[in-house]
Structure 1
Amino acid sequence: MERPLDFLNNLAQNDWLIGYNSHQFNQIFEELYLELTQISACGTPPKIILAEREPLRFLASFIAACAANCPVFLCNPDWGTQEWQQAFDLVQPNIILGIGNRQWEIRNNDNYQCSIPNAPCPLIMIPTGGSSGQIKFAIHTWETLTASVQGFTEYFQLKQVNSFCVLPLHHVSGLMQFIRSFTTGGKLAILPFKAVESGQIFNIKQSKFFISLVPTQLQRLLQNPELTEWLSQFNTVLLGGAPAWNELLEKARFHRIRLAPTYGMTETASQIATLKPDNFLNGKISSGQILPHAKVTIRNQQGEILNSNQIGNITIHAQSLALGYYPKNREYQTYFQVDDLGFLDEQGHLNIVGRNSDKIITGGENIYPSEIESAILSTQMVTDICVIGIPDKHWGQALTAIYIPKKSDISALKIQTLLKDKLSKFKIPKYWIPLQNLPRNSQGKINRQQLQQIATEFLQNSVK
């Protein structure tokens, strides 16, 4: 199998970075690679925290760490004090790149012991945050990341992948765009999303490029006619990170955006299912077919595999699967059962219906918020919506809709009237709370804990 150095040598004569200097990339790589190999020669390879803010330096440092077989932890330079404290306590790094005034800092490297003795080197730790808000690092290797690339290229029948990256490189969604281009000899354009939004775009042939977006980014680009036209020229617009709402998908389809909704996560090194753009434009709504490097089964609570169109727990088998969460690995575990619920249809397309953890039980009935949210969005009266359960002494939980009305004169009663023909009575929310904005992170994922607090305070004040 080709290693990072092999791929870099293949790219040596190519001007593969758009917006940055490929020669400068090689210079930064060589300088750091030499330092790291010298340090490693004196003992165990040092643990590296990588939080470079500048993309060229981040990517060159990442490849240098991988080539030197050093375990590398990707970190967000914009983390707050509490998050950094979590990271330092967990990692106890020997080398820190990108934080503080110095370009990098060497610490005592006597404390490193590989948590997975038989794992292939290097170990690549990618940050992920669960609903708890605690920082975790999914343990990947060069093999798991390149397995994801192999599945991607086979699925789209490509030899080279050209990527236009507007997502953070420390996040799996940004990192994998780099890995695809780097390992296939493709071109990589990197530009902050804010620059794209302001119209500062590179002069490239979009029909040769993939671009990855989260739903909130797609929504913002579609508000600008010029950027909508620019986006419609891309070969494929991968969409992931959070569920997209129907109105957004319809708008993209109307403008002939070659959208490819995806399903994946940090633990699977990005997508394991993707809907191809032609299927999307023809009206198909799903997360698409399973990529060649992965397999998905739908199981009931007893672990039995279900048939087509039966909803159950999603279990993923994939060559791109993380080995566990640092510092512990999943010994001999070749599958990953996620919290998501879904089904496979007759065409083998994966359909997501909600999350086990989001399930609301009211009056003994199991309700999944995504169904209610889709119905409310289809009324065309709200621009954003989240349905949660609030503790209720009579019903166990009371359905509560927190929404952004399209117009100030739209009342909850108007929306409820339209829902009567769409939903059973017990599925229509009892409480309705209008807001100007819903709390979402940079990936577009809703902060449900914050909404619980908002709803609780709102209802307490209403009673008073």
Structure 2
Amino acid sequence: MAENVTVNIRDIASRLPDNWLIGCDSRELFQIVDRLFPEFTKNPAATPQKILLAEREPVQFLASFIAACAAKCPIFLCNPNWVKQEWQQVFDLVQPDIIIGQDALQNLTEMGLMASPIGLTHGWSETEFLSENTALQPFNRAKNLVSLVLMRKFCHIEKPKNNPKLPLTNYQLPLIMIPTGGSSGKTRFTIHTWETLTASVKGFQEYFQVSQINSFCVLPLYHVSGLMQFMRSFTTGGKLAIQTFKTLKNGEKCDIEPEEFFISLVPTQLQRLLQNPDTANWLSGFHTVLLGGAPAWPELLETARNYQIRLALTYGMTETASQIAALKPEDFLAGDSSSGQVLPHAQVTIRGANGEILCNNQMGDIVVNAKSLSLGYYPEKWVDREYFQLDDLGFFDKNNCLNIIGRSSDKIITGGENVFPIEIEAAIRSTNLVTDICIIGLPDRHWGQVVTAIYVPAHSQVTVKDLQAAIADKLSKFKRPKNWVIVQQLPRNYQGKVNREHLQEIALQYIGAEIEDTAVPCPYGDPF
């Protein structure tokens, strides 16, 4: 039976110093926790209330998350910027009791998914609403504090009778549902617990040999990459600095000592920061710069080495509560570009087509077993958590470092040859003729699939012939793109991951079956 650690969550918060949260008011955060906790626990005999947390403001988000976890409420982390279709999907799946988030509530009202105006569904005035819900008064009256709405009273959507039950027993609460969409763009929630998240923290501590973890967070808190930075600092007594990436890119920096902090970035963020020598030099002062979320290209890594940035290439996912493998910064600076060795809380094997474990330098499917592994996708629990096969292909080298080849589902088979997009993308990036690139396979009656490049040219004078000439000595003929599609930008999410299904639709729409070696500009000014 899992240990019930949630009773200690508020104790952890109470022991943190006032300067724990850099750039924000730690005392305000704990005051909000104290106000929210009674609301979440006022009916302990009933089924715990399911909470959608879509708060944009960091203090409000963290306070709500801490209070919900301490109250053992199932909590679903949500992107405040989801569109109506995504919100409708989440509503149908979760059927929530409570939504927290000022902007999200306003957007939901405008989308027609919530009653408008909030709180006046039954003809109440604001005063009557606040009087009826006294526990909510501090949040509805105070500017920039948490907006909290009870769905059973104030939502247009009525809960159906087939409301899904929680897949786990109470002693394993709180359940922490973290959104993941992969490259398809379809949102689903991985089921985590306090135990799985803290297992990831402990593995991180041991691997990097640190006791207190100070985190500088520029990633969304509702995503595993941002949430785990909070968890590392919160549970180890470290400091947490939070800043938007936009302000950091513009040159604003928190008042911290970088050498004491870990910062997490995705490749596109690192690329933008390296374009400014001042910011690049500032990054070189960090204890460790964790890089993950999407493949990094060789030129980006070489630029980081030139600035002596202590980069740690990582491999992980929402299902494993962030990284399960990481490259030590000193190995990166020495020229290693692998994903490093496996962290102590995880086991990774490379498997062949029949499930057999492969030796070093043999490519196969990546299979994971980790203490931090999620319990399933809401509302279903996985039957076997000891054998989690990923869509990724890779191998271990002679130093037991994990090397990622690419996604098995992204593999292109053209004329019987296997082609991996990551190799072609790296070759085209190295020409410096594109600012962004994605390789996909399109159906072809002769070859099975044809390699197709969707790219953003570095300048208007770049032609297909230029690109073809630049990669002629870099790629075998069967790996060179047959179709070229120009776009103004690729549909990437905040992690830098590309929505390949969307690109497939665009490419199929604007490339005829017989068109070869032709650049077809997308007619939209900004198609994404």
Normalising by structure 2, we get a TM-score of 0.84
Matched, 1:75 2:119: no
Q: Give 1:104's aligned residue.
A: 148
Answer whether contact 2:29 2:60 (CA < 8 A) is retained: yes
Other structure's SS at 2:314 match: strand
Identity %: 61
Alpha-carbon distance in 1 for matches of 2:319, 2:53: 19
Matched, 1:38 2:42: yes
Deviations 1:127-155 (A, max 9, x none): 11134422100000000000000000100
Other structure's SS at 1:160 match: coil
Amino acid at match of 2:31: Q
Deviations 1:425-446 (A, max 9, x none): 2112222233332221111111
Other structure's SS at 2:81 match: coil
Answer whether contact 1:69 1:121 (CA < 8 A) is retained: yes
Amino acid at match of 1:90: L
| 1:231 positional shift | 1.3
Other structure's SS at 2:398 match: coil
Matched, 1:92 2:92: no
Other structure's SS at 1:183 match: helix
Mapping of residues 194-233 of structure 1, within 5 Å: 194-233=246-285
| 1:112 positional shift | 7.1
Q: Give 2:237's aligned residue.
A: 185
Q: Give 1:49's aligned residue.
A: 52
Answer whether contact 1:318 1:335 (CA < 8 A) is retained: no
Matched, 1:64 2:67: yes
| 1:276 positional shift | 1.2
Alpha-carbon distance in 1 for matches of 2:355, 2:206: 30
Matched, 1:263 2:268: no
Q: Report the CA distance shift for 1:294/1:37 in structure 2 as closer, same or farther (over 3 A).
A: same
Matched, 1:4 2:9: yes
Other structure's SS at 2:55 match: coil
Answer whether contact 2:191 2:376 (CA < 8 A) is retained: yes
Other structure's SS at 1:443 match: coil
Q: Give 1:113's aligned residue.
A: 165
| 1:201 positional shift | 1.2
Deviations 1:176-212 (A, max 9, x none): 0000000000000011111111222111100001111
Choose the corresponding residue for 2:218, options 145, 166, 180: 166
Deviations 1:200-234 (A, max 9, x none): 21111000011111111111111112211221111
Mapping of residues 28-427 of structure 1, within 5 Å: 28-39=32-43, 41-98=44-101, 99-100=104-105, 102=140, 103-108=147-152, 113-117=165-169, 120-427=172-479
Deviations 1:314-349 (A, max 9, x none): 001100000000000012422311101000111111
Aligned residues: 462
Answer whether contact 2:164 2:379 (CA < 8 A) is retained: no
| 1:373 positional shift | 1.6
Answer whether contact 1:44 1:112 (CA < 8 A) is retained: no
Choose the corresponding residue for 1:21, options 8, 22, 25: 25
Alpha-carbon distance in 1 for matches of 2:280, 2:352: 42
Answer whether contact 2:184 2:501 (CA < 8 A) is retained: no
Other structure's SS at 1:446 match: coil
| 1:37 positional shift | 1.6
Answer whether contact 2:183 2:498 (CA < 8 A) is retained: no
Answer whether contact 2:219 2:225 (CA < 8 A) is retained: yes
Answer whether contact 2:453 2:481 (CA < 8 A) is retained: yes
Alpha-carbon distance in 2 for matches of 1:7, 1:302: 46
Deviations 1:363-398 (A, max 9, x none): 111211112222222333333221111111111111
Alpha-carbon distance in 2 for matches of 1:293, 1:266: 15
Amino acid at match of 1:36: F
Rg larger in structure? 2
Deviations 1:16-64 (A, max 9, x none): 000111111110001111121213x241211111111211011011011
Alpha-carbon distance in 1 for matches of 2:88, 2:445: 40
Amino acid at match of 2:35: E
Answer whether contact 1:261 1:274 (CA < 8 A) is retained: yes
| 1:78 positional shift | 1.2
